[in-house]
Amino acid sequence: MAKKERDQEITLKTPDEIAKMRVAGKLAADVLDMIGEYVKPGVTTDELDRICHDYIVNVQQAIPAPLNYGEPPFPKSICTSVNHVICHGIPSDKKLKEGDAINIDITVIKDGYHGDTSKMFHVGKPSIAAKRLSDITQQCMYLGILEVRPGATFGAIGKVIQKHAHSNRFSVVEEFCGHGIGSRFHEAPQILHYYSKDSDKLIMQAGMIFTIEPMINQGKRDLKIMPDKWTAVTKDHKLSAQWEHTVLVTQDGFEILTLRAEEAEWRSTL
């Protein structure tokens, strides 16, 4: 989400709400598992959108949250951000080609609650640069998640992500951030992916649910928004990558609500 002034209180989810969030998170993760086999040279992002929409609506009996969200209304059911697109890419009739890198961002609503997650896919064989950027960005997300526990500050998330990105000579996008999530798509607090003293004033508590979704650039962090008022791209046209999970603060740590089966050994990637 784009950074803006906080106008909401941070809510602690009840056990019933957490149970619904687990279901929504699992459904969002399942969409990413499902769509992977369709990401190949020649497919259009419109086709990927159609497949995901049909799966969410007809198989999962859920609602694709991005569709008609915001102002202007987002016109599709998923976000597809290819190569130098940072986030909020709108599916189109453009075909994917060998070597492309694409982030697919999924948010579903089930029983009134949201599950939000995204993943990088490589079309055919990735370039060394694209694979490295994707891997480091995923590590940034996991390192941020490892900071989640009651009593920790939100500043710890941004600090560890920024340190890992910069140590690998990548930059961190600052105009967009993670967010609280529940019955609303975007809630307080904002989760910055870089260090800010203000973030150290906010303390995590059990029952909070939010996304961690670093956007990391190969070149400079600067971006521009396209005329559609959604698509954000790198100013220097170098690659960008993003990974996202929805995370619950538990009594003694965290639970990743959108974890996929393929990530069972995710700690070993760090």
For the chain, the C-alpha Rg in angstroms (whole number) is 17
114-167 pLDDT, tens digit per residue, is 999 999 999 999 999 999 999 999 999 999 999 999 999 999 999 999 999 999
- Residue 189 φ then ψ, to 5°: -90, 170
Q: Taking residues 202-224, report their average pLDDT.
A: 97
Q: Residue 198: exposed, middle, or buried by beta-carbon count in 10 A (0-12, 13-18, 19+)?
A: exposed
> According to the model, what pLDDT value does residue 8 have?
65
State residue 9's pLDDT score. 83
HSE-up (13 A, CA, CB side) for residue 206: 6
- Integer distance in angstroms from the first to the last C-alpha of the chain? 26
| pLDDT attached to residue 2 | 61
**Per-residue pLDDT tens digits for 165-175:** 999 999 999 99
- Helix, strand, or coil (residue 255): strand
Residue 139: partners with Cβ closer than 8 Å, 6 or more residues away: 164, 269, 270
- Range 205-230 average pLDDT: 98
Per-residue pLDDT, averaged over 186-201, amounts to 95
Residue 6 has what pLDDT?
45
Residue 27 near residue 258 (C-beta atoms within 8 A): no
Phi, psi of 207 (to 5 degrees): 105, -10
Q: Decide: residue 217, CB within 10 A, 0-12 exposed, 13-18 middle, 19+ buried.
A: buried
Predicted local distance difference test score (pLDDT) of residue 1 = 59
- Strand pairing of 215-217 and 223-225? unpaired
Tell whether omega for the bond before 72 is within 30 degrees of 0, i.e. cis. Answer: yes
pLDDT tens for 46-83 read 999 999 999 999 999 999 999 999 999 999 999 999 99
- Model confidence over 220-266: pLDDT tens digits? 999 999 999 999 999 999 999 999 999 999 999 999 999 999 999 99
Q: Is the pLDDT of residue 4 over 80?
A: no
What the block records as the tokens of 72 is 């202007």
